[in-house]
């Protein structure tokens, strides 16, 4: 009664799904020009009974700013908030560095820092 062994589960699948979600989670946010309230689509608007995930464009026309009560027309598009900047667009640039996972990037960055530090220390050895 042995279950088939679960081996060789490729990791990249999860990573890819994550990248996709991040990109999809980045609809533009809108800021109220009157009071500075920011409508974030991923959060929705609790007071206006707007479910999370509702795009600003999809809000009812009679939706008002929950803080100061101005109309939708007083809101300006301020772009995606909390999204990794240029995450998807830059994947193919940067000599492949941008295709590294964050963990790999950290190793690269801190590895370089460590090497630089060691080099710096070695200067003292010259005395
Ligand atoms: Zn407002």
Q: What is the 3-state secondary structure (H, E, C) of 5-60?
A: CCCCCCCHHHHHHHHHHHHHCCCCEEEECCCCCEECCCCCECCCCECCCCCHHHCC
In this structure, are 71 and 99 located in the same domain? Answer: no
Q: Which pLDDT score is estimated for 19?
A: 55
∠ at Cα 39 (91, 24), nearest 5°? 25
Which residue range is the domain that position 35 belongs to? 27-81
In this structure, are 115 and 76 located in the same domain? Answer: no
In this structure, are 71 and 35 located in the same domain? Answer: yes
3 C-alpha to ligand 1 centroid (Å): 59
In this structure, are 75 and 99 located in the same domain? Answer: no
State how far the Cα of 41 lies from the Cα of 6, in Å rounded to an integer.
39
In this structure, are 35 and 57 located in the same domain? Answer: yes
Q: Closest Cα to residue 35, out of 81, 77, 67?
A: 67
Neighbours of ion ligand 1 (CB under 5 A): 32, 34-35, 37, 65, 67-68
Write out the chain's pLDDT in tens, 127 residues: 555 555 655 555 555 555 545 545 578 999 999 999 999 998 999 887 899 999 999 999 999 999 999 999 999 999 987 655 555 555 555 555 566 677 777 788 888 888 888 888 888 877 6
State how far the Cα of 78 lies from the Cα of 38, in Å rounded to an integer.
9
68 C-alpha to ligand 1 centroid (Å): 4
Overall number of domains in the chain: 2
70 C-alpha to ligand 1 centroid (Å): 6
62 C-alpha to ligand 1 centroid (Å): 14
């Amino acid at each position: 009664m042995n279950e088939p062994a679960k081996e060789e589960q490729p990791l990249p699948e999860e990573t890819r799904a994550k990248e996709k979600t991040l990109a999809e989670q980045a609809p533009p946010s809108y800021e109220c020009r009157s009071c500075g309230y920011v409508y974030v689509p991923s959060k929705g608007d609790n007071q206006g009974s707007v479910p999370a995930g509702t795009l600003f464009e999809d809000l009812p026309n009679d939706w008002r700013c929950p803080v100061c009560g101005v109309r939708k027309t007083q809101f300006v598009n301020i772009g995606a908030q909390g999204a990794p900047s240029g995450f998807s667009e830059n994947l193919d640039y940067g000599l492949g560095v941008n295709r590294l996972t964050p963990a790999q990037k950290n190793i690269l960055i801190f590895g370089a820092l460590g090497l630089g530090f060691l080099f710096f220390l070695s200067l003292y050895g010259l005395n």
